[in-house]
Structure formats: C-alpha cells, structure tokens
C-alpha cells in the first residue's frame, strides 16, 4: 500500500487518481501506523512552507516523516514536498524538516519573470537515476512554484530547470527522491516517473 501524506493540503486527490490509473493501492492518511507500515510514502501538495510545517507539526507528522526516512523505505516528495525536506525556506523564514542540507530561495525580481512559475518547463537529467528510466532527456513537466531548492550537496541533484536562472528541480539521496514539478499533472512522462518510483 502507498501512503499519501494527508496534511490538509491541496492536490492530494490528483496523486491518488494517478496511482489508481497505474493500478496501485493507495490511501490518503495522517495515521502514524498506516504511514510507517506503508511500502512507500508520497508527500505531495501545493502551499506555503510555514503553513505546511505547522500542519505537519500539529499532527506530529514531521517526526513520522523523519522516522520513515530513517527506515530506508522509498519516499517521494512533490512540489512543496521537495521544499520542506531542506533545513530552511525563505518563505516566511520557515524552519523545515532538515532531511537535506540546504535551503529554499525565492525567485529574484525580474521584469520579464512571472512569479510564481505556472506551466510547462523543461527538466534536464544531469545524472542517471532509476526514476528517469524510459523518460526522455530533456522532457517537459508541469510546475507551480515561487521558490526553488538550493541543495548543499551537489551530488544529490539529478535534474535541473531554467526559469530566469538555472535551479535544482529533482533530487535523490538514498531512499528519498523529490521533484519541484508535479508528476501527477505532467501527462505520460509524469505517470512514467511515478511508475518508476513505485517499481524501485
């Protein structure tokens, strides 16, 4: 069973529908035992870093996610689910989960740069990873973000995207993978990456 973390954010049902299409049993849940016993965990959603962390902390899900990560079982973060993995976000100066060294930065003010970034953009694979199996390089994915991750460990970056500047759009380290883009809204290539995660 795949646990989709329920922290009262939007877009959770879109991920559940994508997993249904792929034929994988899943559950949107905030129950600690269900999450810890799941084969895999997906942390998706849209929203602000501070509100996300407050919702996680109010349900003790921050500690559950840390414990699940330490178990070594596969985890996938999507959109806000990549940003809260880091130590700090500039969005309302929020302290995050700290599973990855690094921080989350706001796009700089540029006259021709619309913030947030909303729409399709190119992801270039900068190193091979099983999550990219049979995914074209580059490929286009759907983004909704006003902030972007800045990992301290360059070797964890597996995908990059340019929007005003080049930034990290996908990371992987041990059992944890995360993308800034929405796999569940990215058509065939997004479903393929989800399927790759579920088969890893």
Determine which one of 91, 96, 184, 195 is catalytic: 184
pLDDT at 9: 79
Q: Is 122 a catalytic residue?
A: no
Alpha-carbon span 83 to 74, nearest angstrom: 18
Contact 195, 22 (CB under 8 A): yes
Has domain 2-199 been given CATH number 3.40.190.10? no
Q: In what order do the strands lie in the sheet with 88-89?
A: 94-95, 88-89, 102-106, 147-151
pTM for this entry: 0.96
Catalytic-role residue among 91, 96, 168, 182? 182
DSSP code at position 154: G
pLDDT along the chain (200 residues), means of 10: 90 94 97 98 93 95 97 97 97 96 92 92 97 98 97 97 97 97 97 97
Task: Let me know if 79 is a catalytic residue.
Answer: yes
Catalytic residue among 79, 91, 96, 195: 79
Query: CA-CA distance, 38 to 36, in Å (whole number)?
Result: 6
CA 177 – CA 127 distance, rounded (Å): 13
Active site residue 184: yes
Beta-strand pair 75-78/40-43: parallel
Domain residue ranges of the chain, discontinuous segments joined by +: 2-199
């Amino acid at each position: 069973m795949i646990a989709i973390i329920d922290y009262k954010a939007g877009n959770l049902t879109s991920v559940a529908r994508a997993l249904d299409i792929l034929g994988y049993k899943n559950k949107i849940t905030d129950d600690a035992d269900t999450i810890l016993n799941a084969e895999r965990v997906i942390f998706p959603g849209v929203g602000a870093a501070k509100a996300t962390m407050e919702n996680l902390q109010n349900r003790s899900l921050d500690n559950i996610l840390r414990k699940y990560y330490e178990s070594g079982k596969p985890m996938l973060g999507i959109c806000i689910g990549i940003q809260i993995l880091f130590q700090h976000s500039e969005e309302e100066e929020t302290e995050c989960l700290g599973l990855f060294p690094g921080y989350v930065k706001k796009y700089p003010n540029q006259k021709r740069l619309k913030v947030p970034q909303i729409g399709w953009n190119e992801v270039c694979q900068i190193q091979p990873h099983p999550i990219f199996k049979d995914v074209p390089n580059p490929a286009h994915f759907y983004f909704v973000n006003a902030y972007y991750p800045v990992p301290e460990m360059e070797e964890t970056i597996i995908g990059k995207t340019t929007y005003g500047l080049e930034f990290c759009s996908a990371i992987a380290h041990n059992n944890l993978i995360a993308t800034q883009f929405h796999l569940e809204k990215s058509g065939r290539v997004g479903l393929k990456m989800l399927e790759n995660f579920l088969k890893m």
